[in-house]
Amino acid sequence: MKQALLVFLGGGFGSVFRYFISRSLNPIFHNFFLGTFLVNIVGCLLIGLFLGLSAKGNILSYNNTLFLATGFCGGFTTFSAFAFEKHSLLKDGDLLNFSIYMISSIGIGVLAVVLGLWVAKHI
Q: Is the pLDDT of residue 16 over 80?
A: yes
CA dihedral of 28, 81, 14, 40, whole degrees rounded to 10: -10
Residue 31 · residue 90 · CB < 8 Å: no
Angle at 118 between CA 116 and CA 122, to 5 degrees: 115
Q: For residue range 52-102, what is the model confidence (pLDDT) as tens digits?
A: 999 887 789 999 999 999 999 999 987 887 888 889 889 999 999 999 989
Same domain for 66 and 97, yes or no, is: no
12 vs 57 pLDDT, higher one: 12
Q: Does 88 fall in a domain?
A: no
Domain that holds residue 116: 93-123
Same domain for 99 and 120, yes or no, is: yes
Q: Does 30 fall in a domain?
A: yes
Same domain for 55 and 76, yes or no, is: yes
Total-model pTM: 0.78
Q: Supply the pLDDT for residue 62.
A: 93
Q: At residue 95, what are phi and psi to the nearest 5 degrees?
A: -65, -35
Q: Judge whether 77 is annotated as a binding position.
A: yes
Q: Does 19 fall in a domain?
A: yes
